[in-house]
Amino acid sequence: MGERTDQGTHRLNPAAAARFAASWNAIAPMGKVGLAVSGGPDSLALLLLFHEVAPRNFRVVTVDHGLRPESADEAAMVARICAERSIAHSTLTLSLAKGSAVQERARHARYAAMVQWAHDHGLVALVTAHHADDQAETMVMRLNRGAGLRGLAGMRPRTPLGYPPDTPLPLLRPLLRWRRSELVEIVENAGIIAAHDPSNHDPSYERVRIRDFMTSSNVLEIQGFAASAQHLADADLALDWATDQLWTDVTPAADGFTWNAPDHVPNALSLRVLERILHAFAAPTPRGSELVRWLETLRSAGVSTLGGVKGDARNRPWRFTRAPDRRT
């Protein structure tokens, strides 16, 4: 459990405060936001930076998943730190069972609870403490899985939350250019001993293995990963812009859509048009490999169904209709 090593509060280094103000102001929405603070060094640094830069514009939430006996004390520690600074704080207590995919289940439950909390308090966004080291680890994990441009662009400073899928609440990440070591230093200088989750050192988790590899050598430049993620995100936006132009050629029909797909369109753009067609049918988001196979079949003048949508490319233009229900 984290503890305080002194009483009272410390002022942040002015240079750090100014740096954070610049990154926050670039994405700050109009209205009060909610900070997700676990008691670890990253999120505690986020709290301290916010208190310095925007002291009246946020509330704090801590989620106790009920998976570790220390978690209740860690939530109480965050509550005390907030009380010392007159910051509104809430603890959300969950009851998750240990077992398979526990981290994924905890993530879904955590964000669902925080979205409801944000709605109850009239907040306009959730803010997390993801930083440059998290970004680099995410990119390496996605490289291992053969991710495309969208995945390699990593985490964005502002993104739709997606919990539940249609929520308009955005997720904001103002620390993506900050190193983990910088955030630890902020917390230590404030006289606070942060909590440490033992799962962050458990090699059974992929992210921990990737982190251990990346910190075992000074060959990798973490800030370089952060810069590359930003370049890739810009390229991803450019593809979205080009897809908007192609979408004007997709024509609604009585039973679906038609698209006279130009032969010269790169696959990356064709795949995005097909994604939008599936979305228009409210079809589930497909895996990338499934979408690629669907496009290959259509380019071969074939017929194929994906996500309940039938694509027929035997003639021009391609026709997309809802596939009939399967009968048993």
Contact 159, 148 (CB under 8 A): no
Q: Would you state the structure tokens that stand for residue 166, as one six-digit string? A: 């249609």
Question: What DSSP designation does 56 have?
Answer: T
Task: Categorize the per-residue pLDDT at 218 as very low, low, confident or very high, splitting at 50, 70 and 90.
Answer: confident
Q: Would you state the structure tokens that stand for residue 132, as one six-digit string? A: 């440059």
Task: Categorize the per-residue pLDDT at 267 as very low, low, confident or very high, splitting at 50, 70 and 90.
Answer: very high
Q: Would you state the structure tokens that stand for residue 3, as one six-digit string? A: 């503890």
Residue with tokens 């897809």: 243
Task: Categorize the per-residue pLDDT at 299 as very low, low, confident or very high, splitting at 50, 70 and 90.
Answer: very high
Three-state SS at 321? strand
For the stretch 148-163, pLDDT in tens is 888 888 899 999 887 6
Task: Categorize the per-residue pLDDT at 184 as very low, low, confident or very high, splitting at 50, 70 and 90.
Answer: very high
Q: CA geometry: angle at 95 spanning 89 and 101, to 5°?
A: 110
Report, as an integer, the average pLDDT of 48-55.
92
What local confidence, expressed as pLDDT, does residue 183 receive?
Answer: 96
Q: Which residues contact 286 (CB under 8 A, 6 or more apart)?
A: 275, 278, 294, 306, 307
Task: Categorize the per-residue pLDDT at 59 as very low, low, confident or very high, splitting at 50, 70 and 90.
Answer: very high
Q: CA separation (Å) from 247 to 114, 250, 262, 269? A: 35, 5, 12, 10
Task: Categorize the per-residue pLDDT at 6 as very low, low, confident or very high, splitting at 50, 70 and 90.
Answer: very low
What local confidence, expressed as pLDDT, does residue 327 receive?
Answer: 61
Phi, psi of 171 (to 5 degrees): -110, 125
What local confidence, expressed as pLDDT, does residue 325 receive?
Answer: 76
Q: Would you state the structure tokens that stand for residue 150, as one six-digit string? A: 């969208």
What local confidence, expressed as pLDDT, does residue 258 receive?
Answer: 97
Q: CA geometry: angle at 174 spanning 46 and 42, to 5°?
A: 30
Q: How many CB atoms lie under 10 A from the CB of residue 324? A: 9
What local confidence, expressed as pLDDT, does residue 146 receive?
Answer: 85
What local confidence, expressed as pLDDT, does residue 207 receive?
Answer: 87
Report, as an integer, the average pLDDT of 296-315.
96
Q: CA geometry: angle at 28 spanning 13 and 106, to 5°?
A: 90
Q: Which of 62, 65, 97, 68 is nearest to 80 (CA)?
A: 62
What local confidence, expressed as pLDDT, does residue 4 receive?
Answer: 45
Beta strand 309-312 pairing with 250-253: unpaired
Task: Categorize the per-residue pLDDT at 197 as very low, low, confident or very high, splitting at 50, 70 and 90.
Answer: confident
For the stretch 67-117, pLDDT in tens is 788 889 999 999 999 999 999 999 999 887 676 777 788 888 899 999 999
Report, as an integer, the average pLDDT of 160-175.
83
Report, as an integer, the average pLDDT of 19-44.
95
Report, as an integer, the average pLDDT of 203-225.
86
Q: Which residues contact 52 (CB under 8 A, 6 or more apart)?
A: 11, 12, 17, 20
Fold held by 3-221: Rossmann fold (3.40.50)
State yes or no: pLDDT of 7 exceeds 50: no
Contact 100, 127 (CB under 8 A): no
Q: Would you state the structure tokens that stand for residue 77, as one six-digit string? A: 């520690």
Q: Would you state the structure tokens that stand for residue 181, as one six-digit string? A: 């070591």
